[in-house]
Amino acid sequence: MDSKRIVSIIGTGSYVPERVLTNQDLEKIVDTSDEWIFSRTGMRERHIAAPEQAASDLGTEAAKKALEDAGVDAEEIDLLIVATLSPDMFFPSTACFVQEKIGAKNAYCYDLGAACSGFLYALETARAQIACGAVETALVIGSEKMSTFLDWEDRTTCILFGDGAGAAVLRSGGEGRGVMESVMGSDGSLAHLLSTPGGGSRNPMTHEMLDQGMQYLQMQGREVFKHAVKRMTDAVLSALEKNGLSTDEIKCFIPHQANIRIIDAISKKLGVGDRMYVNVEKYANTSSAALAIALDEAVKDGTIQKGDLVVLTVFGGGFTWGANVLEWGK
């Protein structure tokens, strides 16, 4: 097996639910305003899944679009990974539900949990599997129904998130350098700063837990902001150094779409100006789906073209973070 095989993204796709929840809509739910939300987050609206839609349903729609874009049949998929923190259920994995929905009967499937960093972690996992020759074709999905885990009476968190999914098809071969190796990291000592503490084996579902709101996402925003900026900036610089590149050579930087202030701070530290891709205004933070949706949009709107060097970077609960570089070959 050739451990240095080129691995390329040959198709992307994304999907967001039909319902749009604007800042004006939120004004009717919690004590906030459009001006307050936009000035602090850069968000105008977010998409909210229908009650009958689960993460696998959103992921399935994104997957179908990515497969169509790649010109690949579902039966050609060897590996299917779904990055999510809002799975359909604890088990079976959401990836298995997606497999059944799209007919990827020859794939082995599993979920990956790295919160908002999930899509990049899954991308690197698939890249490594293809590069070492274990599989030929992989489907990677980031899919979230964040609205299920939000306290809609907490204005500090409910305004920040939305639902959606994005997907990418990876295959061996292609022109250029393809998807290059990632730089990733974690710090479990800071897990308490961003988490959903209830519902797992430490705090099983009880009436008391529900009364305390432990089933909802909880975040210490200022601390998260500080660590997100530092970790993503450092990860980008490390990934560039690892691959022998400089910021000047990169056509497009796509960060996790968490907050416009975080994105602006990273852009300033890196000195990359308007090369930072932003769509947080339309979707808010869709966790593991955010990077995947942004990548698909950047490709489809022509921001990324064949031969361009692109940097992806993420940060999420755990804490988890990472960055990688890819040369777009499609």
By annotation, the residues acting in catalysis are 116, 256, 285
DSSP letter for 180, please.
Answer: P
Tokens 């942004």 identify what position?
294
- CA atoms of 276 and 236, how far apart (whole Å): 12
Q: From the centroid of its chain, how far is CA 66? A: 15
Distances (CA, A) of 206 to 135, 149, 151, 196, 215: 43, 16, 17, 15, 10
Task: Please report the DSSP string for 259-319 in residue order.
Answer: -HHHHHHHHHHHT-GGGB---HHHH-B-THHHHHHHHHHHHHTTSS-TT-EEEEEEEETTT
Total count of residues recorded for the chain: 330
Q: Residue 263 and residue 253: Cα distance in Å, rounded?
A: 10
Phi-psi region of 174 (alpha: psi -120 to 50; beta: other; left: phi over 0): left
In terms of Cβ atoms closer than 10 Å to its own Cβ (0-12, 13-18, 19+), residue 244 is exposed
